Amino acid sequence: MEKIYDVVIIGAGPAGLSAGLYAARAKMSALILEKSKTGGQIASTEEVANYPGSIENASGPSLVARMVEQCKEFGAEMEKDTIVSVKFDEKIKVLVGEKNTYYARSVIAAPGASPRLLDVPGEKEFTGKGVSYCATCDADFFTDFEVFVVGGGDSAVEEAIFMTRFARKVTIVHRRDELSAAKSIQEKAFKNPKIDFMWDTVITEIKGDGVVEAITLKNVKTGETTEHQAHEDDGTFGIFVFVGYLPQTGIFKDLLDMDKAGYFITDDNMKTNIPGVFAAGDCRVKSLRQVVTAVSDGAIAAVQAEKYVENNFHDEA
């Protein structure tokens, strides 16, 4: 008979690794499944300066490596596989992957969310080298530099306002002629002397040699293109993209409760609408998506999964 795990964790980002650590330390049989790169978004972050204890300027990959080592030290298993479908209608949960099928008494869904990309030449090449999707993470690197913020919603405008604490100038680039952010947020931005606006404009290319040095801008109404070069004394500038996130929750559609954007709806204990299924990390509805909140979610989910298994499968022990 196939092995039945106490908990199967989908996703090996900070939330999933934290869940795996807590589950394994509680002597649960725990399996962490990851379809691509262990560590999620943080794996491509060069410096994690806002994670408590990272006084040695830990990089994303080094922090992830330590998390993985801890998980394995306490007995958590890890495998590479892509889950393509799940069955949650029985007491034992079934997860069907491209490689194998997995069985679990409880499940923690931590598939994460990915920033929506501009999808222009140079974007991927300069991610982490001038292009960022997290002001809280990277604003400090652009102290006294010029910064462009792409987007017009609440997140984009709020992050632009936040960036003015660091950058000497912030320009919001928006493809429309008015912002979609809440009026109260707009008012703050319009009153901020450090913020300029480029309306009806999109970035079509990002250029540089090792770091961002120039961008090509296009007016969507006139078709006119211009190029902005870094100031010669700076040599670079920042591009912060806030055009939305894409939660990786598609396989759970019509099974787990989600909001309109596809984020899992949970209670404070990470419980979903299905008993024994929990969600953690950037994939769920929350006000702050950071490593520190992801690992918190994972810890809570694992503790709750342990209680669920104890209460519902104690006769099998």
**Category of 200 on φ-ψ map: left (φ > 0), alpha (ψ -120 to 50) or beta:** left
* Cβ 254 vs Cβ 168: under 8 Å: no
* Cβ 10 vs Cβ 109: under 8 Å: yes
Q: Is 283 assigned a catalytic role?
A: no
Q: Is 137 assigned a catalytic role?
A: yes
Measured CA to CA, the distance from residue 245 to residue 6 in angstroms comes to 31
Question: Which one of 6, 71, 81, 137 is the catalytic residue?
Answer: 137
* Cβ 219 vs Cβ 201: under 8 Å: yes
Measured CA to CA, the distance from residue 104 to residue 230 in angstroms comes to 53
Q: Is 233 assigned a catalytic role?
A: no
Question: Which one of 6, 71, 81, 138 is the catalytic residue?
Answer: 138
* Cβ 33 vs Cβ 95: under 8 Å: yes
Measured CA to CA, the distance from residue 138 to residue 99 in angstroms comes to 37
Question: Which one of 6, 71, 81, 134 is the catalytic residue?
Answer: 134
Please list the active-site residues: 134, 137-138
